[in-house]
Amino acid sequence: MNPSYSHELSLYQILNELSPKISPLTVNFSIFQKIIQGLMNCCREQAIQPTLWVKLPTNPQWKVEIEQYYQEGLADRVYYCSIGGQEPSNDAFSFSFSGINQVVLETSTQLQKEYFFLLLSPQFCSLIVIQEMAVSSPEESDSNKSLKLISSFVPEVIDLVLQELKQMVTILDSTPEELRANAVLTFPFPSQIQAPLLTSLFQSQLKQLGASLTPTIPIREIDSKLKPIHELFGSDDDFLMNMTREMGVPLTNMKTALRLLDAMQNKREQRQRYLDLLKRECDRQNLLITGLQEFIQLNHPLEEKDKTVRLEDSVPGIVSTYQAIAEEKGISLGYTIPAGFPAINCPNAWLRLIVHHLLHNSLKFTKAEGRIYVQSALKGQTIELVISDTGVGIDNSDIPHVFESFYRGRNANSPELAGAGLGLAIVKQLVQRCGASISVNSYLGKGTTFRILFPIASV
């Protein structure tokens, strides 16, 4: 491995010479982004907190993406690289977290046309490099530009590339101390990738690339796809059985509490306990009725002007309405919704319901001193909305069922957390009717993240 590098750094050239048997792939920025997301999802699933070296397009969506990864605890440290004088230096582009370091590299004509994502951890390491094609069509948008991609998971190769990269760092007052001391890594490079980790990595890549191929439903077709309410639950019998059972439980509990309250020998503490039970069951009954009303309203026709919405016009206001509740519970609630994103194929009323139910869930299952965060990012022809929390999490056996009507997971069985079991079922129906997709990642004791990919509204 003794390639002859040019006087100007080109990671693409170095990696290509170190890995001569690997043919480059032709991709666009959207696929590049999906590959990165697959890598990070694998790290999330395997509880790996890697060190990252990245050089990404100057579009603010990439900054939001990296901040999101770091905020969710997916990265131990991030070195966000730019070419001298190329990256905007205003406050709008500065990062909010001290673990994300902006690193300036020496000017390189070749590296200006390249972007990379370097992941380092004791378990595995990877390097993805893309280079803009020499000739591209002037009609091509940035998101659809043709790019050459080359990658490696070989530790020896990645170590050599990292050494070359560190030689290009321009030492400034803001340069992290560990870069000055050439002590970036506190762990050795892995000798090999374990089979379970490789399987998880492969599955994560397939999921991410598969999500980008999910067909979307034009908004004009939404009304024609509405189903009768009972079909949302299954057959007529299933609907009636589930509804009567759910309505019967709180009524039975309330009758029992009233009968016990009528007994004069009850002590004050016992009477208070029965009164609390009555209040709780009344709330549960009210939630059930409200949920059924929301299901019925799904069949109401939509006015044409209400069929699209911009996240920036709706989500911040919804989050703000929950600030007082979050503060009362001692929970930090925040959001990052960049301005300027296109409208999505989702009515404003439906988007509000989706965010309402997901925030309500997060607040219910997050304890004091926890955190809930809402953010969005542009993903090719879709916009991703992410609602994450540091709550109690969802058991793996419950995750496949969380969107089913009247289903309650193990963490929702306590009286204080019991609900109607309709909130996430309503979310799933609304998301599907917008031609969107929703996924959930959760770990017990660490929190839950819901991700929704909305199709961009056609102009």
Q: Is the pLDDT at 54 greater than 80, yes or no?
A: yes
Contact 456, 381 (CB under 8 A): yes
With tokens 């204080």, the residue in question is: 416
DSSP 146: -
The mean pLDDT value for 277-303 works out to 57
One fold for 11-211 and 219-234+304-455? no
The separation between CA 282 and the C-alpha centre of its own chain, rounded to angstroms, equals 35
pLDDT tens for 338-361 read 999 999 988 888 898 899 889 988
Q: Name residues whose C-beta falls within 8 Å of residue 91's C-beta, 6 or more positions apart in sequence.
A: none
Higher pLDDT, 284 or 425: 425
pLDDT tens for 127-172 read 999 988 765 444 455 555 778 888 888 888 888 899 888 888 888 8
According to CATH, what is the number of the domain 11-211? 3.30.870
The band of 207, judged by pLDDT with boundaries at 50, 70 and 90, is low
Q: Is the pLDDT at 216 greater than 80, yes or no?
A: no
The chain-wide mean pLDDT, for the chain, equals 75
pLDDT at 336: 93
Lowest-pLDDT range of 40-49, 51-60, 95-104? 95-104
Task: Name the nearest CA neighbour of 418 among 410, 430, 427.
Answer: 410
The band of 225, judged by pLDDT with boundaries at 50, 70 and 90, is very low
Q: Is the pLDDT at 108 greater than 60, yes or no?
A: yes
Lowest-pLDDT range of 87-101, 167-181, 262-276, 371-385? 87-101
The band of 4, judged by pLDDT with boundaries at 50, 70 and 90, is very low
What residues form DSSP beta bridges with 453?
Answer: 384, 437
C-alpha distance across the termini of the chain, in Å? 52
Rounded to the nearest 5°, which phi and psi values hold at 378? -85, 125
The single-letter code of the amino acid at 393 is: G
Calpha distance 79→104 (Å, rounded): 10
**Domain spanning 219-234+304-455: which superfamily?**
Histidine kinase-like ATPase, C-terminal domain (3.30.565.10)
The mean pLDDT value for 94-103 works out to 70
Q: Where are the domains of the chain?
A: 11-211, 219-234+304-455
